[in-house]
A and B are shown apart, each in its own frame.
Chain A
Amino acid sequence: MKKRTKWAIVTLMAILLPFCGLFTEAVHAASVNLHFGSEQYEHRYDESFLIGVYIEADENIGNYEVVLSYDENYITYVSGAEAGGEGTVILRGNLNGDYKKYLISFRAIAGGETNIEVASANINTSNSERINVSVLPSAPINLTHNPEALLSSIKINGVELEEFDSNVFNYDIKIPYTEQLDIDAIGRNGVTTEVLSDNLSVGNNMVYIEAEGSGSSRNIYKLNVIMEEENVTEEKLPDSTNYEVASDEKADFSENSMNENGAVQIEDGPIDDGDFLLSLFNGKIRLNILQILIILLIISLALLVVLLILSFYTEKKKRKRRKRKKGRKRRKSTRSGSGKTSVPNIQEIKPRNKPVDISLKDRSLEERPLEEDEDFKLYGIEFICDDFDDDFDDEYEEPVIAIDDVSMLFRVATQNVSGLKEFIIQKLKGKITYREFYALNHVSIDIYKGEVVGIIGTNGSGKSTLLKIVSGALKPTGGKVIVDKSKVQLLTLGTGFDMELTAKENVYLNGAIIGYSKEFIDSVYDDIVAFAELEDFMEEKVKNFSSGMVSRLGFAIATIGDAPEILILDEVLSVGDEFFRKKSLARVKEMIHGGSTVLLVSHSMQTILDNCSRVAWIEKGVLKMYGEPNKVCKAYQDMGNTET
């Protein structure tokens, strides 16, 4: 088994590792930042100027070759690198470093707008691995026009271009399909013009119009002629005057203008078409999605708030209603003058010198929602008189556990509401009602040192609730328990047992929860195992245990500790087979005789009669009887008999 796991890990790693390698290759490949010194250039039509080209890499670069391309109509290369002919400049060499800077000198020869770009980049690392340059930069060059070489108008197929402005150099023109495109440019006085264009085709056609003035001054106008497809334009052909013009002075700066708007900050280059996320976050879609998101969020938040308010409101209303009811009831009962016991009376009945907590009197309504219900209190309690005689000798002794007027109210929704929709519907209809029931209804018991008190009662009558309250795990909704909590130990079986863990792990888990320290468990571990008689099963998962084995283990863990001063046993004595029961009974007796005060819940009358010095009978949350074991047990059994 172990070996198999090991092999599985090894194979998995083996599969995984090349994967990782793949990613290092693909993703971590050295990167190069290739860029110009400025984002754009502004120069005069006849100036010489420098353009900086920077190669910055995060690794050492070996061979490299970068080709710049520019438009020969506007600028000419002067110096700084290697001329490649046909409007190209080549930067190449063998660099042993990660940074290289070129300053390339150009001279403007015409006014207009052009740009310079990196046509190709072939860069290798010093280990002659090729570095991918994903972004080839480009920078616009704005050359101010030469005032001596301006055009006055442009005619396309004989029609004058309406939007023409002699100071605007770039135009986008849309024309219907034609076989022949005639462009006439008329220069201002003394300006000669020349129209340069490729073969005309459907789509984009670049047309350059060179205007040459006196003293070889030149400007270049750029027309981007977009010709529509043939079939579309056939009908329109007769009036070919029908073209649209968009003056597009800033076409080349569109990226930068986007930058200014803050929509995208392009550091690494223009947006990839495939870059879905970016377009999601920049484009129009973003706004819509954001709006939808916000609306959704607001709706759900509003829903939550409404629900919370609703539940608060109904709670309040209900409380008020309850209060009113109580008030009515109380008035009625006082008017009728029924002889039911009221608070002061009870305290008279109770055994003496019990410490009375003053704060009891001014408990807030919230803590005790049914304070006015005092008139229901304790009816049916019979205090047995010999009780008082028994306790006579320890008249001045303080009780170890003083359970003082303790109530525990549980609220259970009568309708099982599952889901939000139903919840709202029910809430609106006011149909969500809670059944309130008292697991304990004003119970008072005093227990003195050394007593063994048994608690009996039918299932669900509140015995365990009482134990939990005494041990401090539950807080009562009314009343008070005065007890030194540090001395109390509640033994329940298998608290926090986890079926998926082994028995050994459960011993530690359970021990920790009960309150043992790690050192203590270490030292008594063998005793626990021996007592539970589970020596061969400790490494096995508890889910494979029989229920008897689980409870044996639980008992062994629970009782291994030193007998605490106050011991609370919840149904721990009816565990396992007959032999184990005897053994466990012996152990509990030992603990009891060690002088502990014991609270004991059991359904076995024999256990109660054998061990207890006092018995409390709790029925439906009400203390029915408290006193001598024989009498209480007999009364309890009588009740059972009469009912059946």
Chain B
Amino acid sequence: MNIKQYFFVLRELTGREIKRKYARSYLGILWSVLNPLLTMAVLSMIFSTMFKRSIENFPIYLLTGQILWQMFTGATNSAMDALVDNKSLLTKVKLPKQIFPLSRIYTALVNLGYSLVAYICMLMLFRIKPSITMIIVPVVIVLVLLFSIGIGYILSIVYVFFADIKYFYSIILTLWMYMSALFYPVENLNPQMQMIVNANPVYCYIRAMRGGVMYGQWPDTILWIKMICWAVGMLLLGLFVFSANENKIMQKL
């Protein structure tokens, strides 16, 4: 088997995930487009009428963070149980085990692709002028992807040994979301909080993407360093943890 074959398997597995996810729903894959739109609508409504926000183009501000956040949580959450769910396959097939969490993350990427359709519509609706800095978007997405792969690998391994991590991780995600400045400007926080939020990798990615799309800015050097270090570091850590425990999993499963 070569890389091409692995990619074929990956695509088939991803196809299965997506088809299965929407198998019983009426609108199917369209939910990937509708979901971020509707979430954005609800949140914009809440934050623009209940708490008066003073952010320009708040829905776009929100949606930019929202789609990245959705991809990150979608990828890591589903990668977490990838190994356990595919237990029967794992023991019978001599595929590299990395492929299973990876297929879940790929699924999240495909979902993001659909969400991007909604995003682009919204950009046009809000008359955001296209600028050259928008090419930052794919770069940011790739970096978030690498970061998610790292975390997904670690979680998938831990989940095999310690299923409670699932509940714990959902709590962490909630905290993490509020620390990612999805719906408030960081400048409103006090300096310590700002420091925490700025160190948050997910916020780094969101900031870079907002800068590129909404304000026509390139990320500064420090932000670049932070983004790349988080992505590569987490990926390497994930790969290390995964390969170190690969054989122990098989016994546990």
A and B interact: yes
Determine the distance from Cα of A55 to Cα of B38 in the docked complex, in whole angstroms.
35
User: Does chain B have a CB within 8 A of A425?
Assistant: no
On whether the beta carbons of A268 and B54 are closer than 8 Å, the reply is yes
From known contacts A277-B51, A498-B16, A517-B5, infer whether A5 and B56 are also in contact, taking CB-CB under 8 Å: no
* In the bound complex, CA of A57 to CA of B56 (Å): 12
Q: Is the pair B8, A518 in contact by a Cβ cutoff of 8 Å? A: yes
Q: Chain A residues near B86 (CB, 8 Å)?
A: 496
| CB within 8 Å of A: which B16-47 residues | 16, 19-20, 23-24, 26-28, 30, 34, 37-38, 41, 44-45
- A-contact bits for B174-213, CB 8 A (1 contact / 0 none): 0100000000100111110100000000000000000000
Residues of B close to A474: CB separation below 8 A: 91, 250
Question: What distance in Å separates the Cβ of B65 from its nearest Cβ neighbour in chain A?
Answer: 15
Q: Does A563 touch B at the CB level, under 8 Å?
A: no
CB distance from B81 to the nearest CB of A (A): 16
Instruction: Give the residue of A12, A269, A500, A515 whose beta carbon is less than 8 angstroms from that of B23.
Output: A500
Contact B91 A512 (CB under 8 A): no
| Cβ A58 vs Cβ B56 within 8 A | yes
How many Å from the CB of A97 to the closest CB on chain B? Answer: 19
**Which residues of the other chain, B, contact A277 by a CB distance below 8 angstroms?**
51, 184, 188
Could you tell me if B94 and A264 are in contact, using CB atoms closer than 8 angstroms?
A: no
Q: Is the CB of B15 within 8 A of A20?
A: no
Question: Is residue A24 within 8 Å, beta carbon to beta carbon, of the partner chain?
Answer: yes
A257 to B8, CA, bound (A): 63
Pairwise interchain contact B41-A23, C-beta atoms closer than 8 A? yes
A304 CA / B158 CA spacing, docked (Å): 12
Determine whether the beta carbon of A473 is less than 8 Å from that of B23.
Answer: no
Q: Are B92 and A282 in contact (CB under 8 A)?
A: no
B52 contacts A134, C-beta separation under 8 Å: yes
Please report the C-alpha to C-alpha distance between residue A300 and residue B165 in the assembled complex, in whole angstroms: 11
Interface range for A = 35 or more
Docked pose: A471 CA to B86 CA in angstroms:
18
On whether the beta carbons of A19 and B175 are closer than 8 Å, the reply is: no
Q: Quote the shortest CB–CB distance from B163 to chain A (angstroms).
A: 9
Out of B9, B26, B188, name the residue touching A512 (CB < 8 Å).
Answer: B9
Number of A-B contacts (CB under 8 A): 154
Q: Are A513 and B15 in contact (CB under 8 A)?
A: no
CA distance A409 to B251 in the complex (A): 8
Closest to A281 in B: B189
Interface check A329, CB cutoff 8 A: no
Asked if A411 meets B45 with Cβ closer than 8 Å, knowing A24-B126, A286-B190, A513-B89, the reply is no
A263 within 8 A of B: yes
* B12 engages A512 (CB within 8 Å): yes
User: Which of B90, B95, B187: most chain A CB closer than 10 A?
Assistant: B95
Residue from the set A27, A274, A423, A485 with the largest chain B CB neighbour count within 10 Å: A27
Given contacts A26-B49, A515-B1, contact A262 B190 (CB under 8 A): yes
Tell me how far the C-beta of A59 lies from the nearest C-beta in chain B, rounded to whole angstroms.
Answer: 10
A107 lies within 8 A of chain B by Cβ: no
Among A222-230, A501-509, A528-536, A636-644, the stretch that binds chain B is A501-509
Asked, given contacts A262-B191, A505-B15, whether A473 binds B44 with beta carbons under 8 Å apart, the answer is no
Q: Which residues of B contact A496 (CB under 8 A)?
A: 86, 88-89, 93
Contact of A509 among B16, B41, B168, B189 (CB under 8 A): B16
Min Cβ gap A169→B in Å is 32
A305 proximal to B (CB < 8 A): no
Residue of B nearest to A513 (CB): B93
A486 — nearest CB in chain B belongs to which residue?
B1
- The complex places the Cα of A272 from the Cα of B49 at a distance, in Å, of 12
Q: Which of A31, A263, A471 contacts B94 (CB 8 A)?
A: A471
Contact with B along A266-305 (1 / 0, CB 8 A): 0111001011111001100010001001000100100010
Complex Cα–Cα for A23 and B53 (A): 13
Evaluate contact between B48 and A27: CB separation under 8 angstroms. Answer: yes
B126:A468 contact, CB within 8 angstroms:
no
Whether B19 and A27, one on each chain, are in contact in the complex, defined by CB atoms closer than 8 angstroms, is no
| A8–B56 CA distance with the chains assembled, in angstroms | 34
Complex Cα–Cα for A286 and B187 (A): 15
B9 touches A265 (CB 8 A): no
Question: Is A477 an interface residue, CB under 8 A from the partner?
Answer: yes
Chain A residues in 8 Å Cβ range of B49: 26
A286: which B residues are within 8 A, CB to CB? Answer: 190, 193
Cα A108 to Cα B110 in complex, Å, equals 67
Are A513 and B126 interface neighbours, CB within 8 A? no
* B114 to A: closest C-beta gap in Å: 14
How many angstroms from the CA of A284 to the CA of B212 in the assembled complex? 35
When the two chains form the complex, which single residue of A5, A16, A263, A490 contacts B26, counting CB atoms closer than 8 Å? A5
List chain A residues, Cβ under 8 A from B126.
24, 28
- Min CB–CB distance A23 → chain B (angstroms): 5
Q: Which of A262, A468, A518 contacts B91 (CB 8 A)?
A: A468
Tell whether A9 is near chain B: CB-to-CB under 8 Å. yes
Is A595 engaged at the interface, CB distance under 8 Å to the other chain? no
Kindly state the separation between the CA atoms of A262 and B58 in the bound complex, as whole angstroms: 24
User: CA of A475 to CA of B251 in the docked complex: distance in angstroms?
Assistant: 9
- How many angstroms between the C-alpha atoms of A12 and B19 in the bound complex? 21
**Is the CB–CB distance between A27 and B58 below 8 Å?**
yes
- Contact, CB under 8 Å: B175 / A281: no
Is A410 located at the chain interface by the 8 A CB criterion?
Answer: yes
User: Per a CB cutoff under 8 Å, which of B4, B38, B122, B247 touches A475?
Assistant: B247
Interface string of B147-167 (1 = CB under 8 A from A): 000000000000000101000
| A347 to B197 Cα, complex, angstroms | 64
Asked if B101 lies at the interface with its beta carbon under 8 angstroms from chain A, I say no
28 A-B interface contacts by CB (under 8 A): A5-B28, A8-B26, A16-B34, A16-B41, A27-B58, A264-B188, A269-B54, A272-B52, A277-B51, A281-B184, A281-B189, A300-B168, A423-B164, A471-B94, A485-B94, A492-B92, A495-B88, A498-B16, A498-B20, A501-B16, A501-B23, A505-B15, A505-B16, A505-B19, A508-B15, A509-B12, A509-B13, A517-B5
Sorted nearest first, the 3 A-B pairs with minimum C-beta distance are A268-B54, A512-B12, A500-B23
- Which A residues contact B (CB, under 8 angstroms)? 5, 8-9, 12, 16, 19-20, 23-24, 26-28, 31, 58, 134-135, 262-265, 267-269, 272, 274-278, 281-282, 286, 290, 293, 297, 300, 304, 307, 409-411, 419-420, 423, 468, 471-475, 477, 485, 488, 490, 492, 495-496, 498, 500-501, 505, 508-509, 512-515, 517-518
Q: Give 14 A-B pairs besides A26-B48, A515-B5 with Cβ atoms closer than 8 angstroms.
A: A9-B27, A24-B125, A24-B126, A265-B187, A276-B51, A277-B184, A473-B91, A473-B92, A474-B91, A490-B92, A495-B92, A501-B19, A512-B5, A513-B12
